Chain A
Amino acid sequence: MAVRVNTNTLMKRLFKAADLDTYLEGNESNLHSPDFYTLLKQACEKRNMLPAQVIERSQIERTYGHQLFNGTRRPSRDKVLQLALGLGLSVDETQRLLRAAGKSPLYPRLKRDAVILYGIGKKLPILTVQENLTKYGLTLLGGLKNGSP
């Protein structure tokens, strides 16, 4: 049975729904941003680094790393974070790269993300970040089970 609803309320509800809709927001911003592989290459060039160097500094296995660079493999979120550390990206650049890869941005309210954020912000080497993660009993970068996002 139809419930009688005030038109104004209905209108407000309709537009309120838009706030809840992060999907549309996410979509819009992605319409303008380049894809992950392009961003990655750009970041390398900007820092005058070769892919091989970045792979080394990110502590990513060599073959896997090259596959990431030439687009044959999609990275996991951890891999993107490792690349960010290896490249020495800023927090903003990292969030952008994460979004381009279709991954969740770093979330400061969670311990693990906070440790990683700290490392990125301070441009710490990846090994130090791994040490910090261990110190707080958190899973290492790249240490998540297969099938993780």
Chain B
Amino acid sequence: MDLPDETEYPSELTQRCELLECFSEKENVRTLLASNRDNGELCVVKCYLRESPLFDRSEPEALRTIDAAPMPSFLEEYRNEQMRCVLREYVPGETLSQLAKDQTFTEEEVIRIGLQLCDQLHALHSMTPPVIHRDINPQNVVLRPDGTAVLIDFGISRVRTEKDADTVAFGTQGFSPPEQYGFSQTDARSDIYSLGILLNWLLHRETKVTQNSRSALEKVITRCVFFDPDKRFDNVEQVRRALLAARPEARKKRKRLRIAAACLLLALLSCGMWFFARAHRRPVTFPQPLIEQAVRANLGLSDTAPITKDMLGQVRTLYIVADAAYPDADSFYPAINRWYAEGRSARGSVTDLSDLAAMPNLEQVCIVAQELTDISALENHPKLNKVEFTTSRTFPCCPAWIISVWSASTTILCETSRR
């Protein structure tokens, strides 16, 4: 058996690790899986051959210090004449491109993956200096056994201090934004573009984004992939918020909240209405017992029957002479004549007419021989057409509409036109 000697690899690498398999062999870059000879821990080795434009570069400080779990952290860099090898943690799991062979992704799953990648991109973009990944595609996202989506492979990630010409390479066809092909410098929005293409690819297995944005998620994707970076989201935080809002539960939740608010309003309204109705049905109390008697007489109620607010609306006339109340005009006038015949000395207890405020439909009020001093309560009775207050005390204020009020002794005569 003539075994390969693996001398092309830096000796420190082969001393430290056993090389297990080759994940990919592209033109000038080889990606291997290796295991640490001491503890069996797996790691990924990215080997840039001499011909690669990335051979000369040394892994910049920012890329060495990425310590943002769950993204793989930098382990070591080894170099010899033939190649430069960068060791990184190995993230177990299958890549999205592998998984996509057997399964489809629901919108919810795509949003979930998008949110996790946003968190990781945020970590990269917020480093000083910011790191732009530049190669987001289904082969560079691993789904760990616990379901977390992890961004791997910082091969062509660019640090702000480097110019694009230093790092070159074009990402993966279909996933790279236009600016990566030379129109302008790449920045955080380039990663956003690739993220949008990735999410779209997870849904439709297409790198082209069709413009029929049906769902909220598709609208987010559309905004990620505008040709013009200025039209895209400015940063991944915005993308994250948009994705959160696009979640079906978020929208269901908002819908539920709206329904709940409407129900609450309805409940409050009906409560209010119920109280209002109840108030109407609550028995009314009369500070002036004589007026109560007059109401009972007018409505034909017994002495104990409860009087509610609604009932008061049906009172049209009130007749009181001294200390007695009468149901109608036919019984009122004889009573007045009797009072005159007996010397007009008897007096009733009515002192004010505030009780009448609750009887808006009054048409005739004849309250005679009382200690009345104030009839202003009658101001808001539009149906009133006859008033009689014979022998009440003084009227400090007299509603303008009263046609005539007369008394035999000290009352003020008010004659004004009807309102």
Encode A98-128 as 1/0 by CB contact (under 8 A) with B: 0000111001111111110010000000000
Q: How far is the CA of A95 from the CA of B184 in the complex (A)?
A: 42
Which residue of B1, B20, B26, B170 is within 8 Å of A139 (Cβ)? B20
Q: Is the CB of B173 within 8 A of A24?
A: yes
Which residue of B6, B24, B40, B138 is within 8 Å of A110 (Cβ)? B6
Q: Is the CB of B182 within 8 A of A3?
A: yes
Known: A20-B27, A110-B22. A147 touches B145 (CB 8 A): yes
Which residue of A3, A5, A27, A147 is within 8 Å of B92 (Cβ)? A147
Q: Is the CB of A145 within 8 A of B182?
A: no
Residues facing A in B77-119 (CB within 8 A) are 92, 94, 97-98, 101-102
Q: Which residues of A contact B182 (CB under 8 A)?
A: 3, 5, 10, 13
Q: Is the CB of A20 within 8 A of B26?
A: yes
Q: Is the CB of B19 within 8 A of A112?
A: yes
B139 within 8 A of A: yes
Q: How far is the CA of A73 from the CA of B23 in the complex (A)?
A: 22
What is the distance, in angstroms, from A15's C-beta to the closest C-beta of chain B? 9
Q: Which residues of B contact A27 (CB under 8 A)?
A: 97
Q: Is the CB of A104 within 8 A of B18?
A: no
A104, closest chain B residue (CB): B21
A21, closest chain B residue (CB): B173
Question: Contact size class for B?
Answer: 35 or more
A11, closest chain B residue (CB): B181
Q: Is the CB of B94 within 8 A of A148?
A: no
Q: Is the CB of A13 within 8 A of B181?
A: yes
Q: Is the CB of B97 within 8 A of A26?
A: yes
Which residue of A20, A111, A139 is within 8 Å of B6 (Cβ)? A111
Q: How far is the CA of A30 from the CA of B169 in the complex (A)?
A: 26
Q: Is the CB of A2 within 8 A of B35?
A: no
Encode A11-40 as 1/0 by CB contact (under 8 A) with B: 001101111111110110010000100000
Which of A20, A24, A26 has its CB near the most chain B CB atoms (within 10 A)? A20
Q: Which residues of A contact B169 (CB under 8 A)?
A: 20
Q: How far is the CA of A13 from the CA of B181 in the complex (A)?
A: 8
Q: Is the CB of A18 within 8 A of B173?
A: yes
A79 within 8 A of B: no
Which residue of B8, B21, B41 is within 8 Å of A149 (Cβ)? B21
Known: A23-B137, A149-B33. A110 touches B19 (CB 8 A): yes
Q: Which residues of B contact A17 (CB under 8 A)?
A: 170-173, 176
Residues facing B in A121-149 (CB within 8 A) are 132, 136, 138-139, 144-145, 147-149
Residues of chain A whose beta carbon lies under 8 Å from any beta carbon of chain B:
1-3, 5, 10, 13-14, 16-24, 26-27, 30, 35, 77, 102-104, 107-115, 118, 132, 136, 138-139, 144-145, 147-149
Closest 8 CB pairs of A and B: A147-B92, A107-B22, A102-B98, A17-B170, A5-B182, A145-B40, A104-B21, A17-B173
- Can you list 16 A-B pairs, Cβ within 8 angstroms, ordered by A? A2-B184, A10-B181, A14-B181, A17-B170, A17-B176, A18-B173, A20-B169, A21-B172, A23-B137, A111-B19, A112-B21, A136-B3, A139-B18, A145-B35, A148-B33, A149-B92
